[in-house]
A and B are shown apart, each in its own frame.
Chain A
Amino acid sequence: MREADFELIDRFLQGDGTAFDDLVRKRQREVYNLAYRMTRNADDARDIAQEAFLQVYRNLSRFDRRSSLSTWVYRIVVNLCLNHLSRGSRSLHVSVDQHPDPADLSEGSLARLEERERADALARAIDTLPPQQRASLTLRVHQHLAHREIAEILGVSEATAKVHYFHAVQALRRKLADWREDT
């Protein structure tokens, strides 16, 4: 993966116009998903993803290859998200599923309703996490990064990145305490 990324960068630096397109196509979903998980808002995620790739385009020639391209791109996305969140932009989680018709409260639809309520509760709980904790959580759980890499992205020590992550998980656990009985 790393070598393939560096090949793309080499092509870009040699003036191959398709290299950047390939890079964007390869990374656009993960960049958008990361931005969405940080901002919890589709419009903000799209804008941040666009801005992140614009920054990648501007600065790719300065990328020093000491980290992987993913880590470098994630750092750009996370910094944009943290700046965005620091300016007070907050999203409200809105459940997209329709609640079942009360006349159709079969066992299956009740289970779906319950599942939806749990998903909403989780989304609301994640919404309340401080940005750095949210970043640590999503970089660890969804991007499967090591705490060392998360620390590099957030510009903090590895111990601090780990504490952010643990506090995020503990906070979610406290907010969703009733899950214990369901396990």
Chain B
Amino acid sequence: MDVGNVLVWAVWFVAAFACLGSGIAVVSFSNPFYSALALIGNLASLAVLYLLLSAEFVAAAQVLVYAGAVMVMFLFVVAYLGGRADAPWAGGASWQQVAALSAAGALLIEVFLAVGLEASDRLSEEPPVEAFFGGPHEIGRLFLTDHLLAFEITSIVLLVAAVGGVILGSHTRRFEPGVDR
């Protein structure tokens, strides 16, 4: 194992543990502001993992779209609502928490079994890929040839979401007189 390999492993190790740690931080902070900040860290470490998987374009899109646009919107809403902190694990009955934990554990075991049974022997070796793999050229070609329908449907979904956001954000008084306050 040469120096470059060790370096890749070290970067992967740090990024994976930062990812898991900030994921735990997201769900356990009581203040939603800190949760959103931890999610930014999570997204950044995920972008590093994407780079290690030679997905340069997706990593750039992750940082620009998620950590840039979506999280700014999140932080705006958190600041608009005011940082009302609530106790992390106090809400709901205790059977609810037990059910949530067991459901999450069941999902985890299910995913592990599915992935492990399906592809455990094939995951260890990495096939060599071309230099343009994961670049904008390759992704653009796939989007406009093989996955054109998904591309167009995505644009419709984004349009509907924008219209819905505008309607939800406008004054409800105008649409439902007498209901508001």
Q: Do the two chains belong together in a single complex?
A: no
Interface residues of A (CB under 8 A from B): none
